[in-house]
Chain A
Amino acid sequence: MKIVQIIKVAIKNIVSNKLRSILTMLGLMIGIASVIVLVGIGKGSSSSVKNQVQSLGTDILTASITTSDYSLAYEDMDEILNLENIEKVAPYKNISATVSRGTTTSSKASIIATNDSYLGITNVSLSQGRSISIIDIENKSKVCILGSDIAQDLFSLANPIGETIKLNGDNYVVIGVLEEQGTSMGTNSDSSILIPITSAKHLGEDTSITSFYVKVSDEDRIDMTERIIENYLRSTLQVSSDYFTVSSQDSMLDAMESIDDTLSLLLGGIASISLIVGGIGIMNVMLVSVTERTKEIGIRKSLGAKRINILVQFLVEALVLSLLGGILGIAIGILIGNGLENFGYTFENSNIVILISFASSAMIGLIFGIFPAYRAAKLNPIDALRQE
């Protein structure tokens, strides 16, 4: 029997039992679709995080003091700058404040209080105006740099440079506007406002520093620098290293990758369980089908069907069922994944995952189809014919 004919017979049998076939495929469809969605979302989020981390550069160290009882003074930054292999230091404080301009209604915005090195370290550039200067910091000037979204909101098309906005009711002069960045390291610089670190005082904050970025001069010695900073913090704060963290982008990447790996393994495990459940569904239906069609098997045998013909026929039927379920599952998974992008998830579809999903649905068809097919094939023709 030619393979085209076998496939035609299989499709005919599947179509003639529409509801049952669809229900059978549903299990596998859901399994495959969830693999596609889960892996796609996982990959998407990990690669967007990776991009953020890498956009900061691999020559950056991030330090934060994790207990509120301890902090550094602004002057300590100069000491850190004098440590070995350090090019720039930028302290930063996240403050929340209300922003308004003229008569516009005020809204909450995240303020980053920092110094003149911040833009250079975080790789953010200005689209217009100037950066925070040392003089601004010394004078505790009420100046600010706007993120692109905020500038757009407050000024739309007008030039914001030299204009004043109100932060918590206080007037600040806009000295610069940031280029559009997108989300970076969990903070969106497009909707942030930068002010001199010393001006945080005006917003009701002290000038103590709990977090700062460091840019090293020699990237190859970043691990050593990390330890130097740790030593400095330990001796300055007189606390153990449990109270602060110093991390490089590399170590953050490593940590994220290991989380990713665990997550992928977990997702893969869940998905493979659902695939096995789908496979058992297919086996179940195929066994029912063999029982129902015992007579047909007997007739076919009397007409000259060999064992292998019957085996192949049932196997192909299981395979067509599982592949159809797999293909539909892939399509639904991609649809759902793309739909989720509208809700702020990053969905990354990869051909390899599609290929693996396709291959595993074929495998499932084969593995769970072989037993029913074998049972059908070894039926004795007269017993099968006698069945009503």
Chain B
Amino acid sequence: MLVHLAHGKSSLMNVLGLLDVPDTGEYVLNGKDIGNLSDSKLAIIRNETIGFIFQSFNLLPRLTALENVQVPLMYNGKSGKESKKLAYEYLEKVGLKGREKHLPSQLSGGQQQRVAIARALVCNPEIILADEPTGALDSKTGMEIMEMLKELNNNGQTIILITHDLNIARQAKRCVRISDGRLYDE
């Protein structure tokens, strides 16, 4: 999804991620109209169906990498033991074995984004929503993160990535352009 700055990408991202409700129109996700769902139903969908990757990582600064990955699992009703096991597993998948006990401030930007990816994946979501995931990273680290996302995608993971960077947009299998609040399929 290629979007020019300030053309409504954040709004779309927020609506897609169920963080905001659309003013008009309807949003059908997996055949379900989510327009009139209650807060707790929305929270469950956010937890189970959607995984967020933010530009600024949005890790909880006082929690370790491991604990950050555990957070969505806890809202999923998993026990501490179970969530710990899964969190270890996913941190290993994103190449952060050995960094589990580090605080976000002790990790590089790329590593922090990997923690965020592990956190997004850990509940097995159907969709990953990535909002400028490489925007806060240098180009080399950005490439690495993109490689990781592409690999996930090749393994069957749906990823909606929002960017204004053409080079990144080109790597997507399907590209949708937003300009002045309108969608153009390319």
Using CB atoms and an 8 Å cutoff, list the residues of chain A in contact with chain B.
Answer: 1-2, 4-5, 12-13, 16, 295-296, 298-309, 380-382, 385
Contact = CB atoms under 8 A, between A and B. Distances in A.
B62 A303 contact: no
B76 A304 contact: yes
B19 interface: yes
B71 A300 contact: yes
9 contacts: A2-B79, A295-B58, A299-B59, A300-B71, A302-B19, A303-B52, A304-B76, A306-B75, A307-B40
A309 B19 contact: no
Nearest to B46: A304
A181 to B, nearest CB: 63
Contacts of B9: none
Contacts of A382: 14, 19-20
A385 B60 CA distance: 12
Contacts of A301: 19, 43, 46
Contacts of B62: 12-13, 16
Interface string B99-136: 00000000000000000000100010000000000000
A305 B19 CA distance: 12
Given A299-B58, A302-B19, A4 B43 contact: no
B80 interface: yes
B183 interface: no
B98 to A, nearest CB: 23
A4 B83 CA distance: 14
Given A299-B59, A301-B43, A302-B52, 16 more contacts: A1-B74, A1-B75, A2-B74, A4-B80, A5-B80, A12-B62, A295-B58, A300-B75, A301-B46, A303-B72, A304-B46, A304-B72, A306-B40, A307-B43, A382-B14, A385-B58
A273 to B, nearest CB: 35
A4 to B, nearest CB: 7
Contact of A306 (B43, B58, B60): B43
A307 B46 CA distance: 13
Contact of B39 (A13, A296, A306, A385): A306
B25 interface: no
A304 B47 CA distance: 4
A308 B38 CA distance: 12
Nearest to B48: A304
A18 to B, nearest CB: 13
Interface string B40-68: 10011011100010100011101000000
Given A381-B19, A382-B20, A385-B19, A307 B72 contact: no
A309 B77 CA distance: 11
B78 to A, nearest CB: 9
Given A307-B39, A381-B19, A385-B19, A302 B46 contact: yes
Contact of B47 (A299, A303, A381): A303
Which A-B residue pairs are the 4 nearest by beta carbons?
A304-B47, A306-B43, A304-B75, A303-B72
Contacts of A298: 58
Contacts of A304: 43-44, 46-48, 72, 75-76, 123
Given A2-B79, A382-B20, A385-B58, A303 B40 contact: no
Contacts of A305: 43, 75
A1 B76 CA distance: 7
Contacts of B80: 2, 4-5
Given A5-B74, A16-B62, A303 B119 contact: yes
A12 B62 CA distance: 9
A1 B71 CA distance: 9
Contact of A308 (B40, B77, B79): B40
A1 B75 CA distance: 5
A305 B119 CA distance: 14
A163 to B, nearest CB: 80
A303 to B, nearest CB: 4
Nearest to A300: B71
Nearest to B45: A304
Contacts of A2: 74, 77, 79-80
A1 B74 CA distance: 5
A220 B73 CA distance: 76
Contacts of A300: 60, 71, 75
B184 to A, nearest CB: 25
